[in-house]
Amino acid sequence: MDPTAREALAGPVLADLGAWDLEPAQDADSLEAAAALCRSAGYWALPYPVAERLAVPTGLDADGLLVVSSTRPSAAIGGLEGRWIAVASDGTRHRVTGVSDPGPAFVSTLDLEPLDADGISDLPLALTLPCWTLLGMLDRAIDLTIAHVQMRQQFGQPLARFQSVQFQLTDAEVERAGLDVLAKYTLWSVGTGSPDALDDALALRMAALEAAEIVFRVTHQLHGAVGFCDETTLSWLSRYSQPPRRLPFGLSATRDQLTARIDRRGLAGLYTPEREAAR
């Protein structure tokens, strides 16, 4: 796809759906709708940064928010016009003043101009919504693989009849289902303004990356060699899952950031003494 055609193809459709009328940072219903939209965008591998557009900070003249690494900031916005704000994990915000020519999966390096250091409160939502996009991709990968093993015949019966295939699919589905539950919890944490929302968002990202690694490994194995051919939807889905899995930081860096934040106290969760007392 021509990167410059993305806005013309996807932008008007999303606008007609009322996507840009949502205010997930302000309204609980909008937050749930935004998460559902991101999940659907991931399911269909929509080549458009829906989560980043919906995470736009309140009170800033911007079209979207990008969480970036402090080293070589990059994002999958190649070929798109717009006023973008970039925020680093320490809360420093920058305006995006330039974008390089897009590489694979529309990823471009960004030229940044310092703005302020008030972005720490933007991070929970901006980290959570892309995880919903990735969850949608895992939904689709599982669905595609179930359809494939039910159709594909080996030794006179569908692959789905083999116990080893069933075990592999079960492992993948357990990861996907667990991520589904954690994503809903994190959405509640972000929506209620919990002081632990950023910790929860980082934990969600870590879980999403771990789940994606397992789900895509299993689904590629069960598709066989054809799963790496562009004739199959799984190949495209796997390819376009790379930006949300690698940007702004991968699994090891996510673990490091989460560990540095929670230290020895651990994650709060639903059933801490303070929350039980509040009930």
Task: Please write the tens of the pLDDT for every residue from 145-183.
Answer: 999 998 887 787 888 788 888 999 999 999 999 999 999
* Cβ-based burial of 210 (10 A; exposed 0-12, middle 13-18, buried ≥19): middle
Task: Answer yes or no: is pLDDT of 270 > 90.
Answer: no
* Cβ-based burial of 155 (10 A; exposed 0-12, middle 13-18, buried ≥19): exposed
Average pLDDT over residues 65-79: 93
Task: Answer yes or no: is pLDDT of 88 > 70.
Answer: yes
Output 268 or 275, whichever has higher pLDDT.
268
Residue 131 near residue 187, CB atoms below 8 Å: no
- Domain-wise residue ranges, the chain: 3-119, 123-278
Q: How many angstroms separate the CA atoms of 211 and 179, rounded? A: 7
Task: Please count the other Cβ atoms lying within 10 Å of the Cβ belonging to residue 225.
Answer: 7
pLDDT in tens, 182-237: 999 999 999 999 999 999 999 999 999 999 999 999 999 998 877 778 888 999 99
Encode burial over 166-180: b for 16+ CB neighbours within 10 A, e otherwise: eebbeebbebbeebe
Q: For residue 148, give the amino acid letter.
A: H
- From residue 26, how far is each of 20, 21, 59 by CA, in Å? 13, 12, 11
> In which element (H, E) is residue 38 found?
helix 28-43
Q: What is the CATH number of domain 123-278?
A: 1.20.140.10
Q: How many angstroms separate the CA atoms of 67 and 278, rounded? A: 33
Q: How big is the CA angle at 193 (ends 190 and 198), to the nearest 5 degrees?
A: 55
Average pLDDT over residues 30-42: 97
